[in-house]
Every structure is written in structure tokens, then in C-alpha cells.
Amino acid sequence: MNIDIQTTKFEALLAENAQLKKQYQQFKIKERYLKVINDFATSILPHNTVEDIVWEVAKNAIAHLDYEDCVVYLIDEKREYLIQMAAYGPKNPIELDILNPMKIKIGEGIVGTVAKTGIPEIIADTRKDPRYIVDDQVRLSEISVPIVTDTNNVIGVIDSENSKTNFYSQADVTILKTIASITATKILKAKAREEMERSNKALEQFAYIASHDLREPLRMIASYAQLLEKNYQSVLDERGEMFLNFLMDGAKRMNLLINDLLTYSRLKKKDEELQLIDLEEVMEEVLTNLEFIIEENEGVIEKEPLPKIRGYYSQTVQLFQNLINNAIKFKSEQDPHIQIKVKDRMSEYLISIKDNGIGIAPEYHEQIFQVFQRLHNRNEYEGSGIGLAICKKIVENFGGKIWVESEQGSGSTFWVTLLK
Ligand code: ADP
């Protein structure tokens, strides 16, 4: 073979080999990127408070990206300052303990600029950047990436410094941007949860105090109305007697409302662990408690064998009692026919309570689970409008869900998931 042809072929092979090596290196970098993101996503997933999340971010940068340090700042409520929330590395050797938290005005320094512009920055040599703020000691390069939400709102900055110049590359920006985006979602969710919990607590406290304080004056109204009835009925004319009846009726209804509200506000999640509860036993008690109204309405209850679930006994009785009571109370022209079925779904049971009652129009399917939400006036059906709110709270305390499927006029099915 001609030597020239051989050389050309060899060169071509070499070129191809070099190209493949380059491609392989690029895939290796991408794979590393995926691994870092995967490790990060997995480790941050179980964390649900803002504090835990920011510390996990700071720790992870050190663990997976070989950084010397990592600092997470969040923007304060007035959007004036970045507050250092977590720092990991030599500056802060003790976990969860910021020795000297920094506060940087938005627009000032490198992190302040990144918070303002929302654009990531790499500083190859901090000595040449007048914005560099010396914290504990001078470090020669820095990377600063904004934490941006889906709606393009900057809520903080992830920042790292290194003792060498030119330490950070564009690949670090790419990784940190993805990390920052996951972080933003987690932080927003944690904040929403904190807000919700605060609001729930305030609501519960209000409900408890209000219902508790209302009991005493109500008792007084009711007992004086009874005294009037007992001792002065003979001197009351027809109108007077009618007014007195309204008064007693009102007091009775208010008593029902207050009792239900008290029950609702007392349904706290207990510290003790959920117990294994036999639903057959629960149902037996419910059917005994409702014996009278079932018979009176000629109701038929059909049920599959029921399993054991995780919960607290008396709350489970209350849950099923409210649901079955409603299924009878909101009956249609036909006699009530209730079917209780169970589906086994991995870690939980899905229980359905189906009735042939008046049904609920789809636009009310969420509303009925809120306190005091009723679809009928009290002349049509007695009730406080708290029963389903109590059910929802109980089910959620047990780690489950409750919802309804129904069309007006064609019965309702309430679905409940309960842990095994
Ligand atoms: P209450 O029964 O005291 O009114 P609930 O919180 O138990 O309060 O129920 C809220 C509303 O949801 C009821 O007023 C009723 O309009 C509707 N509802 C509940 N259960 C059923 C059912 N099985 N069939 C039809 N409507 C129902």
C-alpha cells in the first residue's frame, strides 16, 4: 500500500479519535452535572422549612461541587437587604450556627448586584473587582447566582468564594442555576406552608376562644328563657309565646353551632403516634349511635368487610358518623341506600361512602369542606355546616385525603384515603 495513503488514513483515524474523545469528555461533564443535580434534588426533597432548605443547599455545594465554601442569602421582606441565612465552609465550621451573619444592601457588592440584576456572575480575580466585600479573609475568585422563582422574582443569592483565581467556570453557573431554581420552588413552598400553618393556628385559636367565651352567656339566655316559659307562660299572649319560642329555638341552634365549633377547634394533631384502628369496630359503634335516624328514615347500609387503618379511635367514629349521618340527612325521594366499599392501594385504603341522596352540584365540591359552608337553609335541613370540615381535619390529621364526587340529583360518593 502506498505510504501516503497510509499516512492520510492514520491522520483521519487520529482526528476521529480526538473528536470522539472530546465528545466523550463532554458527555462525562454532562453526566457529572446530572449526578450533582440528582444528588442535590434527592437530598433537599425531605426538607420542608426555609432554614433546613438553605442549610442543605450550602452543605451540598461543598459536598458535591468541591467548593471551599458556600453562602445562601435571602432577600428580606422589605426587599432592601440580602440576609445571610446559611454558610458552610471554613468561615462557619459549626453547622447551623452563623457566627456573624452578613447583611448586604441590594445593589451593593457582588451579591447585591446579582440580587438586583438577576444575572449570575463569575469573578475570576476579586482583586480586580472594586465591588468585592471582604468578609473574614480575601478569597481570589467568586461565583454568585440568583435564586429566581418561576415568575422571575429574585428571592436570594447562592454565593461561593475560592482561594484560587479563576476557580469557577460556566459549568458551575449552569449547575448552580438549576440548584437555585429547585431551591426557589422549595423555599416558596416552605413559606406558603408556614403561612398556612400560622393562619390555621390563628383560626383555631379564634374558634376556640370565641366558642368557649360564647358558652357562658348562651347558657344564661337559655336558662332565663326556660324560666320565662315555666313561670310566666300564663301571662304571655300568643305573640309573646311565639317570641319566646323563637328565643329558645335560637339558643338551641347556637348551642349546636358552638359545640361543633369547639369540637372542630379541639381536633388538634396529637403528638402520640397513630394507632391501628379496626374499622369494623368503628362502624359497629357508628351504626349503634345512628340507629334511631337510620330506622326512622328506613335506611339500608351495605358494606364490604372493613380493614384496619391508622388513626385515633374516637375521631374515626366521628368521621364515619358525620358521613353516614349526612348520607341519610340529605336523602332524596327514595329511601336512603348507602354503600361502603374499600379498595386496597399500596400503603393506604381508599374507602367510598356512596348514597342515593340529593347530590351536590360540582361547583360546591370544595366549598362544603369549609367551616360554616352549607348549601341549604336550616328550615330544609338541620345542621351547623361544620360536619364535613371536621371530617377533613380528621382525615388530614391521619395523613389522608377526602373528596366528593357527585352530580345534583343523582347521589354522592365521598372518598376517603386512610393509611394502613
Ligand atoms: P351540615 O350537615 O351541618 O350542613 P356539613 O359540613 O356536614 O354540614 O355539610 C355541608 C353541606 O354539604 C351540607 O349542608 C349539604 O349541603 C352538603 N352535603 C354534605 N353531605 C351531603 C350528602 N351526602 N349529600 C348531599 N349533600 C351533602
Give me ligand 1 centre to Cα 334, in Å. 18
pLDDT of residue 5: 77
Average pLDDT over residues 399-403: 94
- Spatial strand order of the sheet with 412-419 comes to 300-303, 337-345, 348-354, 412-419, 402-406
* Residue minimizing CA distance to atom 12 of ligand 1: 368
Strands 81-88 and 70-75: antiparallel
pLDDT at 55 over 80: yes
Helix (H, G, I), strand (E, B) or coil at 405: strand
- Which atom of ligand 1 is least distant from the CA of 357? 24
What does DSSP say about strands 337-345 and 300-303: parallel, antiparallel, or unpaired?
A: parallel
State the pLDDT at residue 79. Answer: 94
Closest to 159 (Cα-Cα) out of 95, 111, 94, 97: 111
Give the model confidence (pLDDT) of 70-93 as tens digits: 999 999 999 999 999 998 876 555
pLDDT at residue 176 is higher than 80: yes
Q: What is the model's pLDDT at position 257?
A: 83
Mean pLDDT value across the chain: 88
Residue 100: pLDDT over 70: no
Residue 95 confidence class, pLDDT cut points 50, 70, 90: low
Q: Residues near ligand 1 with C-beta < 6 Å?
A: 322, 326-327, 330, 355, 357-360, 368, 373-376, 383-389, 412
Residues forming beta bridges with residue 412, ordered by sequence position: 406
pLDDT of residue 317: 95
Q: Are 90 and 79 in contact (CB under 8 A)?
A: no
Burial class (CB in 10 A: 0-12, 13-18, 19+), 5: exposed
User: Residue whose CA is closest, atom 25 of ligand 1?
Assistant: 359
Residues 257-280, mean pLDDT to the nearest whole number: 82
How many Å apart are CA 208 and CA 77, to the nearest integer? 31
What is the Å distance from ligand 1's center to 360 Cα? 9
Tell me the C-alpha distance between 148 and 187, whole Å.
Answer: 11
263 alpha carbon to ligand 1 midpoint, in Å?
A: 17
CA distance 85 to 98: 8
Residue 170 has pLDDT above 80, yes or no: yes
Is residue 73 within 8 A of residue 104, CB to CB? The reply is yes
Mutation probe of ligand 1 site: the residue of 301, 367, 368 with most atoms within 8 A of C-beta: 368
> Alpha-carbon distance 414 to 327, whole Å?
9
pLDDT score recorded for residue 208: 80
Q: Does the pLDDT at position 63 exceed 80? A: no
pLDDT tier at 417 (50, 70, 90 boundaries)?
very high
Cell numbers that stand for 32 in this block: 457529572
In this prediction, residue 310 carries a pLDDT of 93
Average pLDDT over residues 399-405: 94
**Beta carbons within 8 Å of 150's beta carbon, 6+ residues apart:** 184, 185
- Which residue's CA is minimally distant from atom 16 of ligand 1? 375
Residue 163 Cα to ligand 1 midpoint, Å, equals 66
Residue 29 has a pLDDT of 80
Would the pLDDT of 288 be above 90?
A: yes
pLDDT value at 353 more than 60: yes
Do 263 and 237 touch, CB atoms closer than 8 A? no
Ligand 1 centroid to residue 379 C-alpha, Å? 14
**Ligand 1 closest atom vs CA 369:** 6
Nearest CA to ligand 1 atom 19: 326
Which residue, by CA, sits nearest to atom 2 of ligand 1?
383
